[in-house]
Each structure stands twice: as C-alpha cells, then as structure tokens.
Amino acid sequence: MVAYVKDLSIILAGLIALVTFMTGTWQFMRQARYTRVQNFLELRRRFLEDPVFRDLLNRLAVNDPTLAEAPIQDRRNLVGFFEEIALMINSGVLRPLVANYMFGYYVALIGRSEPFWQGLDRDSVYWTVFRRLEARLAKLEKEAGRAEPLKF
C-alpha cells in the first residue's frame, strides 16, 4: 500500500510539473508575441508621426522631382528606418509578410524614385540591407495572392 501511494505521488508530481512547464511555455510565447506587437506599433507610430518622413512619403507618392532638394540626411534617415525594418525581419522579430503589408509600398516607391536617390549612391555597399529588403518585399508582393493570413 505504501509503495502504491509513493508511485501515485511521483506520477502526480510529474503531471503537475509537466502542466506547469507547458503553462510557462505558453505564457512565454504569448509574452514574446505581445512584445513583437509592441515593438511593431512603436515602429509604425514613429514612421507615421515623423513630419520629415511624412513629407518625404507624400512627395514619393507623386514622384515629386523636388525630392532631390530634400536634405540628404532626411533621405538617409528614411532609408535607415527601412533598414531597421530589414534587421527586425532578419532577426525574426517581424514577420516578412507583415513588413511587406505595412511598409512594402513605401520601400518600392523609394526604390523606383530617381529624384530620391540624387546625391546618394544607391549602389553603395552601405545600402545593401535596403536593396535586399526591396528585393525580398518585391518577391513577396508577387506571391501576395498565395500568402498566409497575417499575424504577429
């Protein structure tokens, strides 16, 4: 009888440990997703609320030739912002489909805009991350009809 109680208590303790471990793992995954959402929302807020970015994006939307007159540092900062997006994708913090849905249009506009790149060396090694992001998002754009549902 004592051995039976001992065996039962070991099994019960094992089950409790397993349930605790599974609950902890589930909570960890939820927290990681929540953190990704928070990071994304902060990034999106920064993108939309920056008046310099808004001005550049408005000019990009109509391919305004005066983009060439915008301060080079402002244009660098905008491309740098998209490179941050690329780094987040490469690090697994942001899913490529979400990045494409939210930012792909703007990346494509920058890539096509000749006035935007005046005074900047588009082919410089320092813009490699941006060019790779542009190519990656363009590929996703072509596959958009077969895309899985967006999620963080």
In this structure, are 24 and 79 located in the same domain?
no
Euclidean distance between the first and the last CA atom of the chain, given in angstroms as a whole number: 52
Res 28 pLDDT > 90: no
Res 77 pLDDT > 60: yes
In this structure, are 14 and 56 located in the same domain?
no
Look at the chain and report how many structural domains it folds into: 2
Minimum mean pLDDT range among 2-6, 17-21, 111-115: 2-6
In this structure, are 30 and 55 located in the same domain?
no
Question: Confidence class of residue 73 from pLDDT cuts 50, 70 and 90?
Answer: very high
Q: What is the pLDDT of residue 36?
A: 78
Res 104 pLDDT > 90: yes
Q: Which domain holds residue 87?
A: 50-146
Res 146 pLDDT > 80: no
In a domain, 45, yes or no: no
Mean pLDDT, residues 82-98: 91
Residues 6 or more apart from 67 whose CB is under 8 A from it? 56, 59, 60, 75, 113, 115, 116, 118
pTM given for the model:
0.76
